[in-house]
Chains A and B, each alone.
Chain A
Amino acid sequence: MSSTSKLFSALAFLLVTLVAVPWLITVTRRLDLYYTLTSVALLAIASGGVWLTFYIGRINIGQAAFALMGGYVSAILVVTYGVPFWLTLPLAGLFCAVASILIGLPILRLRGVYFAMVTLVLTEVARLLALALPVTNGAKGLVNIPLPGSTTLFGVTLIPDFATLANPRLTFYLISVVLMVICYAGLYRLVHSRVGRLCLSLQQNEELASSIGVNVAYLRVVIYAVSSLLGGLGGAMFVAISQSIYPSSFTITDSINFMLNCFLGGLGYVFGPILGTFLLYFGWDLLFQTGRLQLLIFSSVLIALMLILPNGLLSLRLFRRSKG
């Protein structure tokens, strides 16, 4: 894509998500969709982190642990210490990044299914910790978390106080989409910079990468930290919207879904997880009517998709182009 068509695509995306979607929702009076779409945006942020670990050749089934961690850090800071939410958001991300460095140093040596298994266990460890630690209030969780207050910069109100808003759901939606766009712009830059190519060198051959001077261990940890930061941001934002968090707010199912979102969209496409999250989330909801068959149909369709399109849905676009 040329840079003008890239700019055009980005503008079109913003126009659709920030203007057209709210207008459609207002016209159709489907206000419930705000919550759904906000969820998609936030889950896509966490999925983007998982996608990034795929990019260095690691299967990450542990993102729910960091979403949970980010959610709790933000909630505890807001509830117990009265810190403004908008300050807790970056702090939650940062906390997750630091924690993931400590966790990543030992476990990132593992590859393939071993790393995947350990991250899966990590999700469960996070849940058990949330149950056991005193600050998290155990299984009862933290509830009635106050809505985010206003935030101002040089006297200009950037984000209004949610408690005073007539339509907080719209504002949450807009903020979440903007946050998602910022995160993915950051990912896009990473992938298209030399850092991205260094990541690919790890994915394709770690031994060779280290023989040409790539500090493999360092790069792996940095990328894992960025990945976990995204998990923490997504989780913290999610908790602010639902105004509550429990040890079961993010579980192994979420970890697996984050990973599936990446597969579905395509591991080779930085925006793949957005599409994957969107389709998986809506696909799951659409199948709700099928009752007990929901999971069966859902899984079968996923397996079929992965067999037919191993490089994800976005590979369709390239396919069409190379044919035409």
Chain B
Amino acid sequence: MDDLLQISRLTKQFGGLVAVSDVSFSVREGEILSIIGPNGAGKSTLFKLASSFLRPTAGEVRFRGERISGLAPHVVARRGVVRTFQETTIFKGMTVRENVIIAHQLRANASLLGYYFASSVARRDEAEFGRSADEILAFLGLDGIRNDPAVTLPHGHLRALGIAIGLATNPTVLLLDEPFAGMNHDETMRAVEIVLGVRRRGVTVLLVEHDMPAVMQISDRIVVLNFGEKIAEGTPAEIQQNQKVIEAYLGVEDESIGI
């Protein structure tokens, strides 16, 4: 399998605090790779580095061999590396469908002037975005609420909408920050199905997650962070046996890593 995304010796300091310290690993095409670790381990920071929302203090991120760290987020997104956010990040003043339609911007062929004057390219774009949005909403089971204002959605639907927004960009790699956070068991199981479905669409998934059973069930491989450092990498089975990982999570609760 090919390495799609290479994280090499990535370090991020905030003042004196080293949030991510000399972390290296690769994401392979078509896999689901999860980053886990206790609170404050640096997962979200690593995530922002990978999607170029933060500049690394040292090290770099390469996508298909080309350096992407330091590029503007929308440029990185255009290359195919797209993130959704930990916070329930959606466009709150729009309906569900409007959210997904606007998220097609990466596929836009028309210019601002084109959209303004409704050029033929713009009209083709908009028809295509509408069609694709409906397809994505149906895929995620959101078609029943497509015209609801996004603010009124319950938690589970919000996450699904976040993923719908991510899918609309037609990503090669989708980075999901805690897609199962705050969900009950049923909601999590449905979300797991969605993420598996996303991968079936040919999208490589990199996710940060707290919910250990879900991570163990869904991931091909797992990277474990503790105090900003990578302490383990391997298949779910390997991670569950890893002594360092067990120690890092000791004092939390044993079942929280799904042993």
Name A residues whose Cβ lies closer than 8 Å to a Cβ of B: 189-190, 193-195, 197-198, 200-201, 203-205, 207-208, 210-217, 219, 222
Contacts and interface: CB of A to CB of B under 8 A. Distances in A.
15 contacts: A193-B118, A195-B112, A197-B102, A208-B85, A208-B90, A210-B72, A211-B74, A211-B83, A211-B85, A212-B168, A213-B106, A213-B169, A214-B105, A215-B74, A219-B112
B94 A216 contact: no
B102 A201 contact: yes
Contact of B91 (A189, A194, A205): A205
B116 interface: yes
Given A193-B116, A195-B115, A211 B93 contact: no
A200 B115 contact: no
A57 to B, nearest CB: 11
B45 to A, nearest CB: 15
Contacts of A217: 72
B112 A204 contact: no
Nearest to A200: B93
A190 B116 contact: yes
A213 B91 contact: no
Given A201-B102, A212-B165, A195 B116 contact: yes
A28 to B, nearest CB: 42
Interface of B is mostly: helix
Interface of B: 51, 53, 72-74, 77-78, 82-85, 89-94, 98, 101-106, 108, 112, 115-116, 118, 122, 125-126, 165, 168-169
Given A193-B118, A197-B94, A198-B102, A210 B112 contact: no
Contacts of A200: 91, 93-94, 102
Contacts of A207: 53, 73, 85, 89
Contacts of B94: 197, 200, 204
A222 B111 CA distance: 12
A222 B112 contact: yes
Shortest 9 CB-CB contacts between residues of A and residues of B: A213-B106, A194-B115, A213-B105, A212-B103, A204-B91, A210-B73, A210-B74, A213-B77, A208-B89
A216 B112 CA distance: 12
A211 B51 contact: yes
A212 B102 contact: yes
Nearest to B85: A208
A210 B126 contact: no
Contact of A213 (B53, B74, B90, B98): B74
Contacts of B105: 198, 212-214
B170 to A, nearest CB: 10
A194 B122 CA distance: 9
Contact of B92 (A194, A197, A204): A204
- Which of B84, B101, B115, B169 is the most central at the interface, judged by chain A CB atoms within 10 Å of its CB? B115
Contacts of A212: 77, 82, 102-106, 165, 168-169
Contacts of B84: 211
A246 B21 CA distance: 60
Contacts of A197: 94, 98, 101-102
A200 B92 CA distance: 10
B205 to A, nearest CB: 16
B203 to A, nearest CB: 15
A205 B165 CA distance: 13
B219 to A, nearest CB: 23
A109 B248 CA distance: 40
Nearest to B100: A212
A194 to B, nearest CB: 4
Nearest to B165: A212
Nearest to B170: A213
Contacts of B108: 213
